[in-house]
Each structure stands twice: as structure tokens, then as C-alpha cells.
Amino acid sequence: MSEHDFISAGYEMPALPLTRTPELQAERLWCCGIEAQAHGSPGAETWSAGLLGTDCFIHLGDAGQSIRGSVHTGMRIEQRAAVPLSEPLTIQGRTTAVRQVPRGDQVEIVFDFKDPSGASPFTVVLDVLMPDADKMTGPQDKKVPAAPPADPRAGLVMVGARQLEPRHVQTYGGAKNPIHLDPEFAQSMGFRAPIAHGVMTAVWLLGALDKPSAPVELAADFAFRRPVFWDDAMELWGEGARFLSLNAGGKVTAEMTVEKAGYAA
């Protein structure tokens, strides 16, 4: 077995049990700028669908696969029911597509989550770039735009803002990819500083849907446009089904498109 077997379409990971304590969920939500109460009162917590993205990366490691240096470029989350956090799940991932892109291999992996009855309340699809270091640090062709770019905030309203700090990324933990934790390693991959987990930005974007509780049914797609560094200022803009995360320069770092969001009666 190779630590990069998952960079092959059809590779299937073993089904493994998954649990999460209320304390760990609350800590990770705090790192993302979200109140834990959005996912249930103490003693009645439910699984946070957004955080399952991190469990997917951990599952890869548990299956003997290495994501060292990987970059999370996209994600889709489907939630079909609210599940008590006290109820264990089973997670299993399968690589469905691999394609070569200018900076490395782009890998699509589908993760299915099952409850004790065998039902599947969650599905998460990850798009992951396994970069070629030489291609990441080499010169990049820059196209000169014919006209000034449109303001991405046009037609949207400001929903929130936060200042990300290194401690948020360090405390979040996750799959321990050094690109999130080691400044020297991040710089070797062409980044000025460690970058936040894509899941952290996704969970923050999902917080815009809390009314004040999180949806119990959800279908949402995320595109991670630019890296979010662990010391970035962030703004959240949105309206209807479209939400954006912007950096201090006003550039889009991530986009969430909401197909469905249903709430408990």
C-alpha cells in the first residue's frame, strides 16, 4: 500500500467508526467564529455538518494516506437529517476522479456517513489539490485585465467580519497538515504564511445560515478561490443563496452556494 493510493480513481478507504465529543465540537466551532449553541443546547448537541469536512481529511490519514502539502479547493455538503452528537457515525471515502491541472493533481473524493441504522444522513465531497512544489513556486503568467474587475460585493450585504489569528488555526488541529501549522513548510509551497483549513472558512460561511440554529437539511457547495492566511482579516457578504468570504484587500477567498437549507419546525 502507498500513502498516495488515494490519488487514483476507484480507491476506497475502509469504513471506520466516527465519534466527536461536545467539547471538541465546541472548540472547533469557536476556532471558526461560530457559537456552539447553533448546533444544540448542552446535552442535546447535534453533529455539525460543516465540521465533517475535517473528519474526511482525518479519515484519509487513518486509512494510511498522506495529505502533506495538500490544498483544499472545493467541497459539497449534503445533510438529510439532524443527528444527535451522542450517536456514532461510520465514515467511508472513495476517490471518484483525478485530473492533472497546471499545479498538480486535482482529486475528488466522496465520503459517506452512516448512522447505526444504516441510513446515510450526510455526504461530503472534497476537491483536493495535491500540488507539485516546483509548479507552486515557479513564475506564474499574469493576464492583464481589459477592464477593472467588478466589485464582488455588488448586490450583497455584509453579514459579518472577524480577525483570524494563528491560535485559531493551531487550536483547530484537524489532520495536522504542516501547510496549516509550519511557516517554513508553507513558504516552501509558495505561501507567505500558514493557511487556514478550507473547512474553517466553510463553517464560518455556514454560520450565515444560523437562524439562530443551524439547518437540519442542507445542500451547499463551496469553492475556495484564494488561500486564507492564519492572520487574515475576513469579511462575510451574502444575499439569498450566495455568500462570499473576502480578505482585507476585498478579494474573494471562498464562495458558498446554497441549494437547500431546511430548519426544524
Q: What is the pLDDT of residues 119-144, one digit of tens each?
A: 999 999 999 998 876 655 544 455 55
Q: What is the pLDDT of residues 215-227, one digit of tens each?
A: 999 999 999 999 9
Mean pLDDT of the chain: 92
The pLDDT of residue 134 is 65
Sequence ranges of the domains in the chain: 16-133+154-262
Task: Classify residue 235 as exposed, middle or buried by CB count within 10 Å of its CB (0-12, 13-18, 19+).
Answer: middle
Kindly report the CATH number that applies to the domain delimited by 16-133+154-262.
3.10.129.10
- Between the alpha carbon of residue 57 and those of residues 144, 178, 262, the distances in Å are 37, 13, 27
Query: At residue 170, does pLDDT exceed 80?
Result: yes
Quickly count: other Cβ atoms within 10 Å of residue 259's Cβ: 11
Quickly count: other Cβ atoms within 10 Å of residue 12's Cβ: 12
Q: What is the pLDDT of residues 36-80, one digit of tens each?
A: 999 999 999 999 999 999 999 999 999 999 888 788 899 999 999
Query: At residue 25, does pLDDT exceed 90?
Result: yes
Mean predicted confidence (pLDDT) in 154-174 = 93
